[in-house]
């Protein structure tokens, strides 16, 4: 998965931009994400329904995956069934 690729959720409105990724399956709301939305929406899995927040970056424990949420939705993100977590950003004082 190339950095910069935009993926859409099959289960909700979530869209992400890939910053970093490996070979695993990127999912949202428990369903695989793809560059196009399927005609029929996938059901939202209960374990992946905490929602995504615009502008937040989501990462896995190994640092292999990083996704930027560019459109929020009801599903939450995962890779091969493992939930991703929000990357803590430490904003700097505005310098420019």
Partner 1 sequence: MNIALLLEMAAEAAPDRIALVCDGKRWTYSDLLAAARGAFAIIQDSGADYVALLDESSEAAVIAVFGAALAGVPYCPLNYRLPDADLAALLGRIAPALVIGDEERVTRIAQDQGHTILSREEFTLQTQETVPADDAREYDPGEGVAIQLFTSGTTAAPKAAILRHSNLLGYILGTVEFAGADEADAALVVVPPYHIAGISALLSSIYAQRRIVMLPSFSPEGWLALVQAEAVTNAFVVPTMLSRIIEAMDNGTTAEIASLRAIAYGGGKMPLEVIHKALERFPAAGFTNAYGLTETSSTVALLGPEDHRQALASSDSKIRARLTSLGKPIPTVEMEIRGDDGRVMPVGEAGEIYVRGEQVSGEYKEKSALDADGWFPTRDAGYMDEEGYLFLSGRADDVIVRGGENMSPGEIEDVLLTHPAIADACACAIPSVEWGEAVGIAVVTRDGHEAPHENELKDLVRQRLRSSRVPEKVAFVTELPYNEMGKLLRRKVKDVLAG
Q: Residues in the site for partner 1, rule: CB under 8 A?
A: 2-6, 17, 19, 54-57, 68, 70-71, 89-96
- C-alpha 16/C-alpha 33 separation (Å) is 9
In the complex, the smallest distance separating the C-beta of residue 95 from partner 1, rounded to whole angstroms, is 4
Which is closer to partner 1, CB of 28 or CB of 30?
Answer: 28
Strands of 6-8's sheet in order across: 6-8, 15-20, 66-71, 57-59, 85-86
Which is closer to partner 1, CB of 2 or CB of 46?
Answer: 2
DSSP 8-state class, residue 34: B
Which is closer to partner 1, CB of 54 or CB of 61?
Answer: 54
């Amino acid at each position: 998965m190339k950095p910069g690729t935009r993926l859409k959720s099959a289960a909700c409105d979530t869209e992400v931009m890939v910053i970093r990724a490996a070979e695993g399956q990127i999912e949202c709301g428990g369903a695989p994400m793809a560059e196009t939305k399927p005609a029929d929406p996938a059901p939202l899995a209960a374990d992946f329904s905490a929602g995504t927040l615009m502008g937040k970056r989501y990462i896995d424990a190994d640092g292999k995956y990083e996704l930027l949420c560019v459109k929020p939705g009801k599903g939450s993100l995962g890779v091969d069934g493992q939930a991703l977590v929000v990357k803590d950003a430490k904003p700097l004082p505005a310098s420019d």
